[in-house]
Structure 1
Amino acid sequence: MNVFGSGFAWNAFALNLAVAAGAAFSVVLVAFLVALRVKMHRIVDIAWGLAFAAVALASYGMSAGYGDDGRRLLVTLLTVVWGLRLAGHLAWRGRGQGEDPRYERLLGRASGNRTWYAFRIVYLLQGALVWLVSLPVQAAAYETGAMSFLAWLGTALWLLGLTFETVGDRQLARFKADPANRGRLMDRGLWSWTRHPNYFGDFCVWWGIFLVACDAPAAAAATVIGPLVMSFLLIGGSGKALMERHMAERPGYAAYRASTSGFFPRPPRGPREGDTEAG
């Protein structure tokens, strides 16, 4: 039974799943080797975006002659642009800094070999998540029908997300670069509309990419796990929830939390007491 719709090359897609897994795990393996050399596991954050780009490029190559060329190119460009921008931003932001406290705390839990523990809990898990979240990217490359309005709606949502990420990251970087803001918390620009414009941006990007893969309803049903997992990571996993636990004791954060949306943007509510920073 063809669960993805008429003309979907199931056998080729099954092979793509394996190749995509190899692409994702190759990137995180290289990141692991680099991390051992520089003795810093925050390198894996850069590999996150690069691994998605690698999966998209591998899927584009593997799907030649199978899927609609327009959709193949579109979903590849959306994924690669997002992944490279994110990797570049994290590399720039982390330059000259030491280990991320998140990884120091995580490795502090290791009862045996810390290196093997890091490889299993950080790198292998990240590779698996990249493969799972990227399922819509992989499936979209094999859909044969012409793109419908859903693909363009998804592209518009992707663009909204990329804008939130890019503008929010730039606003925060400029704020932190000003010595006058030392010790203060960021509550300006997009950060006054949502406490996490970067995570909201990621959310829009991945639901947008999912919409590009939605022209075949069965394909959408089979790959919706991708954006759902990403949404969980952003809201309840290593994104918003973890960041807010870290920020909870900062002076002024309670007032910022009371006045500013936790995720989906909206105008700030009421006067804010003090200044705030997130992300």
Structure 2
Amino acid sequence: MSLTYWLLIGNTGVFILLGVLAALRTGDTKWPFAWGFFSFLPATVIIGLEGTGDVWRKQMVVVLVLVYVVRMLYTLLVWFNATGASKLKDTTPKAAILSLPLVLVPVFCWVYTLPFFAAVDRVGPFGLADGAALAVYALGTLFHLGADYQKWQFKQDPANRGVLLRRGFWGMSRHPNYFGDFLIYVSFAIVGLWHWGLVSPLANLVQYFADAIPKNEKQSRQRHGAAWEDYAAHTPIFLPLGRGGSEDTAVPASRDS
């Protein structure tokens, strides 16, 4: 087994340990998620070090992941109360919170990095795939960061307590931030140009539709009642095919959120 795999195994073990210790100390979902995202960056660097492809492409991959990880850490640590992860704190048993790093870190280190095993070996000038990857990455970042920022800003206003956000990004889709995140993993698969790299965005999609979205929808339906039902009837669940709306279209919830 090559040095790359030993380093990846070591990286995985270190971040699992950090995530479990953070969960034990805080009992919060914030830090297991943060350490999971953080592990993505050194794993990418490790893969890049053994790559035999063009240096500029390896650097591009690392920079894209660096921007993604820094942005996600900022979102988790500063805008945490506006994220879906914050809703899990009071509904997730302590044992499940402790097990989060055991799932998150291996996924980030081994599944989400799959496209990079091929990307770091690619040679040749900047081409159509590279341009497409950057374009999809930029669009994904716009939706992911824009939706999270809009939700955080909305929650800062006490007048919005008990109000269901239905404008802007959240008028186009019920989960525009998840859609943006998925596009980012699609961009990673594009730059890899490897069929096994498709496992990365597919795993991301499965995680959302098998876990995050059902939990989020259930909690929102319980919290907002009829307002949520009306919102769901007029707004697509994932793809941003809705027309959006203005702030005046926000619907009061049945109880505070």
Q: Is the 8 A contact 1:259 1:272 kept in 2?
A: no
Pairwise mapping of residues 174-193 of structure 1 onto structure 2 (< 5 A)?
Answer: 174-193=153-172
Q: Aligned partners of 2:75, 2:244: CA distance in 1, in Å? A: 30
Pairwise mapping of residues 1-279 of structure 1 onto structure 2 (< 5 A)?
Answer: 15-63=3-51, 66-94=52-80, 100=86, 102-107=88-93, 114=95, 118-119=97-98, 121-130=99-108, 131-214=110-193, 220-234=194-208, 236-249=209-222, 250-251=224-225, 252-268=227-243, 274-275=251-252
How many residue pairs align between the two structures?
246
Q: Aligned partners of 2:104, 2:14: CA distance in 1, in Å? A: 11
Q: Is the 8 A contact 1:76 1:137 kept in 2?
A: no
Q: For residue 6 of structure 1, what is the aligned residue in structure 2?
A: none
Q: Aligned partners of 2:212, 2:252: CA distance in 1, in Å? A: 22
Amino-acid identity (%): 24
User: 1:165 Cα deviation (Å)?
Assistant: 1.1
Secondary structure of the structure 2 residue equivalent to 1:81:
helix
Deviations 1:30-77 (A, max 9, x none): 1222232334343111123211122122223333xx121121011111
Query: Structure 2: 5+ residue runs without aligned partners?
Result: none
Normalising by the residue count of structure 1, what TM-score does the alignment of the two structures yield?
A: 0.79
Q: Aligned partners of 1:73, 1:269: CA distance in 2, in Å? A: 37
Q: Is the 8 A contact 2:166 2:251 kept in 1?
A: no
User: 1:124 Cα deviation (Å)?
Assistant: 1.3
Q: For residue 7 of structure 1, what is the aligned residue in structure 2?
A: none
Q: Aligned partners of 2:61, 2:201: CA distance in 1, in Å? A: 14
Deviations 1:7-36 (A, max 9, x none): xxxx8xx64344234323422321222232
Q: Kindly provide the amino acid, as one letter, of the partner of residue 58 in structure 2.
A: R
Deviations 1:64-95 (A, max 9, x none): xx121121011111111111101111111237
Q: 1:241 to 1:39 in 2, by over 3 A?
A: closer
Q: Kindly provide the amino acid, as one letter, of the partner of residue 72 in structure 2.
A: L
Q: Is the 8 A contact 2:36 2:101 kept in 1?
A: no
Q: 1:22 to 1:140 in 2, by over 3 A?
A: farther
Q: Which one has a larger percent helix, Structure 1 or Structure 2?
A: 2
